[in-house]
Amino acid sequence: MFIDILGFKIFNDSKEELIKYIEKFEKINLISGNPEILFNGLNDKLLNKCFKNDNSVIIPDGVGTVIASRLLKNPVKEKIAGIEVMKELLKKANLENKSIYLLGAKEEVIQKCAQNIENEFNNLNICGLHNGYFDLNNCNSIIKEIQEKKPWAIFIAMGCPRQEYFIEKYINKLPCKIFMGVGGSFDIFSGMSKRAPRWMISLGLEWLYRVIKEPWRIKRLTSIPKFLVKVLKYNS
């Protein structure tokens, strides 16, 4: 059910199985393991600890992670995009009348994101939300609110490593079952950013679409070849 990439355990089954697997946990931290995040995890002690926790499950998000698994001759069954897992969890919350908390992104983005989620999922209860611009070490009012509202799942969209630092710091203090860092997903749910067209996603070119739309991302892409070189060295 898992493969090893550079010492990280990567989930190796379908999205549907992942949703079932979540039930086994009292608390789970779902990590979208794209090459950039995994590469950061090699160099940052706190991230490394977070990714290796017993309650962390890393999903193979991004074509670079799929290529890495192939280079290691242990290919993952499928790429699992974090945003699609978030959608499945929203569906589940809707079906089972569960509550969620949204944390991250700019104020206008999170407001619009919550509105769109509520319009699409009538039975789902967004029990609270907060934008992602606050001091991670001084956010008692947010922590208190989440403790009081007891959401089933909390989605944290503050980019890596900020969202992971939040989770690592507060996971044991917050009464949620599911923690998930979702990067720029609120921007997409809000309609303010668009996901790549389907054909680009299926060709593994989502990264290219994002660079065309947001050229400043080009610098961040350098972690993909660096990550793959590490994988090749690990393999030899």
> Does residue 169 bind ligand UDP (CB under 6 A)?
no
- Angle value at C-alpha 63, between 228 and 68, nearest 5 degrees: 35
Number of chain residues interacting with ligand UDP (CB under 6 A): 15
- Residue 60, interface with ligand UDP (CB under 6 A)? no
Q: Could you give the CA distance from residue 66 to residue 76 in angstroms, rounded to a whole number?
A: 6
Residue showing tokens 């599911």: 178
Q: Look at residue 62 and give its three-state secondary structure.
A: coil
Those residues whose C-beta lies under 8 Å from the C-beta of residue 47, and which sit 6 or more positions away, are: 37, 40, 41, 160, 161, 164
CB of 26 to ligand UDP, least distance (A): 27
Residue type, 107: E
Selected binder of ligand UDP within 61, 164, 187, 206 (CB under 6 A): 187
Report the nearest approach of ligand UDP to the CB of residue 236 (Å): 30
Cβ burial, residue 202 (10 Å; 0-12/13-18/19+): exposed
- Encoded one letter per residue, x for contact with ligand UDP by CB under 6 A and - for no contact, window 133-162 reads x-----------------------xxxx-x
Q: CB of 118: closest distance to ligand UDP in angstroms?
A: 19
- Pick between residue 75 and residue 221 the one whose CB is nearest to ligand UDP: 221
Question: Where does this chain bind ligand UDP (CB under 6 A)?
Answer: 104-106, 109, 132-133, 157-160, 162, 183-184, 186-187
